[in-house]
Amino acid sequence: MQRTLAGRPAVITGAASGIGRSLAQRLSRLGSPVAIADVDEAGLAETARSLSGPVLSRVLDVRDAGDVRRFAEETRDWLSLPVAAVFNNAGVATYSTVLDSVPEDDSWLFDIDYWGVVNGTRAFLPLLLERNYGVIVNTSSVYGLVGMPKQSAYCAAKFAVRGFTDSLRQELRGTGVSAVTVHPGGIKTNIVRNGRIHAELDERGRSLEQIAADFDRIALTTPDKAAEIIHRGVERGKARILVGPDAYVFDALARIAPTHYFSVMARLVER
């Protein structure tokens, strides 16, 4: 189902930086009123100042289902046009083996990366169904396609987002509302620096800054490019959007070598 987003209202969580900020800026330049939310008040204010059109800015913790519902109500009251797209984009990261994992960190991540998506979907979906129009866009990851060492909590949450959105897509068949899953590869954002990364658990003895710098070196896609790919994918009616060349590699390896992809990737890295 093809859609035009330019000029139509959009909702974006995780908009204080990264992909969320770039999506807000891109859609705002195209004439869309945007309702943006994030727990980072300073970053959110900076995003709001960078936008060229109407904006509703709300400091929001996506873990709070009640507050997300209130944000949906505020958005509905603020807009004169129906919401065309809801980007459930807020996300965080951890870094630990299963054996050394900190349960509180895993719960923190899952509450944001999975339940934040669920809360945003449940809060805004009635608005879309009321008009029988719009799209829910949920951010998973390439780690929602493959499992990776020291990413058990992140992979679990992103696989859950994938399954949740795939199920929602089937429930919406026959309506004017659709559901899209986004699988970004490495995007040059602050997700590592802002995560709960226990550098003391790194077998190479890297500090947090070194881990983040290594991530920056292998991240192939800028947030602006990611926003462009996501925007175009939604408009073209894609049900799943792979973001970045590495996302296509992960997807192919998961299909070709579903139980041995990590060994294949390790050999590629060595070469």
**Class in CATH terms, 10-270:** alpha beta
What is the reported pLDDT for 214? Answer: 64
pLDDT in tens, 29-47: 999 999 999 999 999 999 9
Record the tokens describing residue 61, joined without a space.
């913790």
Whether 191 shows a pLDDT value over 80: the answer reads no
- CA–CA distance, 160 with 166 (Å, rounded to integer): 10
Per-residue pLDDT tens over the stretch 149-179: 889 999 999 999 999 999 999 999 999 999 9
Confidence of residue 199 (pLDDT cuts 50, 70, 90): low
Task: Please report which confidence band the pLDDT of residue 11 belongs to, taking 50, 70 and 90 as the band edges.
Answer: very high
Among residues 232, 229, 263, 233, which one has the least CA distance to residue 244?
Answer: 229
Please check whether residue 102 is in contact with residue 197, taking contact to mean a CB–CB distance below 8 angstroms: no
pTM reported for the whole predicted model: 0.92
Establish how many alpha carbons lie within 13 A of residue 100's alpha carbon, considering only the half-sphere containing its beta carbon.
Answer: 14
* Token digits of residue 95: 């870094």
Q: Is the pLDDT of residue 202 over 70?
A: no
Higher pLDDT, 148 or 24: 24
Q: Which are the catalytic amino acids? A: 154
